[in-house]
Amino acid sequence: MTVAAGIGYALVALGPSLALFVSVISKKPFLILTLLSSTLVWLISLIILSGIWRAFLPLNSATWWPFAILLFTSVAFQEGLRLLFWKVYKRLEDIMDAFADRVSKPRLYLTDKMQIALAGGLGHGVAHAVFFCLSLLTPAFGPATYFVDRCSQIPFFLVSAIIALAFVMVHTFSMVIAFNSYAEGNKVDQLFVPVVHLAAGMMTLINFASGGCIVGIPLLYLMAILTLMHCGRMVSRRLTENHRQGSS
């Protein structure tokens, strides 16, 4: 498929993340640190999960329910880690606020907190994209292409890049929603994030069916756009509330 196509696939999967990094994250060192640490946390979660699941591999690919169980346990574990991540962040936030008070500098703004959440989410998303798409992309730089039987209209590498992009969106914005909901104590939103994560994961099971990717991928993007819209609504609500609070 040559170098051009390889770069194209990499950009499809990670281009928006790159754009986000360059325009928002790279400006503040703390965000870069947050991104890196959340990437690391996500990868560690994968290592632990693979360690636990090693005993049950290889899974029989003729049935779909072992994969459903795998996805469920993985999502549950990662959501648990997200809670832990939030708790660590809360402690850090308290430390930073105390420090700011001591040096008579302003405390973290709402936008700062949201940017930290965004960086955390982006870390998760980038880790997913790198692990599940970029690592498979090396053969894409060679002359040959590859088509999977059950999704024979689109090259395999394109499919994996598109799915990776959807998951980047899901991870990035659901972290913002999650942090916000933990801060506000909003139960509905707290449930929203794991449910959407699980649903997005289960959507990929549709790819098992012959020709399933034509249905599965649009559904996955539906989840991603849902997350994006919900995040946007929540952010604008919080900002206007905050602004009103601040000005009143």
Partner 1 sequence: MAMKIVSLFLLFIFQFRLSLSGQMSSMESVPDLQKSMYMVVDGFPCVRLVNLSGEIGCSNPGRDKVVAPIIKYKNTTELAQPSAILLSMDDVQGFFSRISNDSSFARNVGGVLVESGVEIQHKLKGFSPAQKFPQAEFSPYHNTTYEWNPIGSGIMWKSYNFPVFLLSESSTSTLQEIAMKNEKTERAYTTNVAEFDVVMQTTKVGTHDSESCLKEETCLPLGGYSRKKMSFANRSDVYSYGDITILLRGGMLRGGSVWSALPPIDRLSSNQSKPIILAVASMDAQSFFRDKSLGADSPISGMISLLAAVDALSHVDGLDDLNRQLVFLVFTGEAWGYLGSRRFLLELDQQSDAVHGLKSTLMHLVMEIGSTGRGLNQGNKTFFAHTEVSSASNETLDALKLAQESLKSDGVTISTANSSNPGVPPSSMMAFLRKNSSTSGIVLEDFDTIFANKFYHSHLDDSANINSSAIVAAASLVARTLYVLASDNKNLTSSALSAINVNASLVEELISCMLDCNPGLSCELVKSYISTTNTCPNHYVGVVLGEPSSTPHPNQVDDISRFVWNFLADRTSTPKGDTSVCSQDCGKKGGVCIRAETDGKGVCVISTTRYVPAYSTRLKFDSGTWQLLPPNSSDPMGMLDPVWTESNWNTIGLRVYTVQDAAYDRLVLLGGITVTVLAYLAILLTRAYITKALKQD
Q: Which is nearer to partner 1, 86 or 192 (CB)?
A: 192
- Show Cβ contacts of residue 5 under 8 Å, excluding neighbours closer than 6 positions: 140, 145, 157
| DSSP label of 207 | G
CB of 140 to partner 1, least distance (A): 9
Binding mask 17-56 for partner 1 (x = CB under 8 A): -xxx-xxx--------------------------------
**Which of 145, 168, 169 has its CA nearest to residue 158?**
145
Select from 16, 30, 190, 225 the one that contacts partner 1 (CB under 8 A).
16
Work out whether the CA dihedral 192, 197, 198, 199 comes out positive or negative.
positive
Binding-site residue total for partner 1 (CB under 8 A)? 58
Q: How far apart are CA 42 and CA 129, in angstroms?
A: 12
- Helix (H) or strand (E) holding 23, with range, is helix 2-23
Interacting span for partner 1 (CB under 8 A) from 70-78, 82-90, 95-103, 218-226: 218-226
Q: How far apart are CA 40 and CA 124, in angstroms?
A: 8
Binding site for partner 1 (CB under 8 A): 1-2, 4-5, 7-12, 15-16, 18-20, 22-24, 58, 61-64, 111, 135-136, 138-139, 142-147, 149-150, 152-153, 155, 158, 165, 192, 199, 206, 208-210, 212, 215, 219, 222, 226, 235-236, 239-240, 243, 247
